Structure 1
Amino acid sequence: MTTVDIEYCVPCGMLDRAQDVQAAILEAFGQEVESVSLVTGDSGVFEVRADGDVVFDKESDEFDVDAIVDGVGTHVGATA
């Protein structure tokens, strides 16, 4: 099953954004994902990884919850 990590900058106050993404992923995929973890970070980081692959990085991608969920979706149910 797919594991998702959402690494977010604590000093930047990105917890709300991280929780919004976490809730959207859980709503979309529910029990199809093993976990959706919030990982604390700093230096402005906001990155979403599915099974270790980056599906969103605020340095190169425009923030769009639906696009992030779609990116995670490509990993959900994929066979190894």
Structure 2
Amino acid sequence: MTEVEIEYCVPCGMLGRAQDIQQDILEEFGEEVDRVALVTGDAGVFEVRANDEVVFDKEADEFDRAAIVDGVRSHVGATA
């Protein structure tokens, strides 16, 4: 099953954005994912990982909720 982590910068106030992504992933995939965890961070971090692979990094990618969900999609149901 798929494990997703959303690491977000606490001092930057990115909790709301992280929660939005978490909700989108859970609504799209439901029980097909084991967990969607929020991970606190700092230094401006906002990164989404599925099965330890980065699918979104704000340093390299434009923020697009649908694109992030699509990035997770390729990991849902994949076997390790």
| TM-score higher than 0.5 | yes
The Cα of 1:79 is off from its aligned counterpart by 1.8
Stretches of structure 1 that go unaligned for 5 or more consecutive residues are none
Q: Do residues 31 (structure 1) and 22 (structure 2) align? A: no
Q: Which runs of 4+ in 1 moved over 6 A?
A: none
Matches within 5 A, 1:1-80: 1-80=1-80
Number of positions where the alignment pairs a residue of Structure 1 with one of Structure 2: 80
In the alignment, the residues of structure 2 paired with residue 78 and residue 38 of structure 1 have an alpha-carbon distance, to the nearest angstrom, of 22
Letter in 2 for 1:10: V
Structure 2 unaligned segments of length 5 or more: list them: none
TM-score by length of 2: 0.99
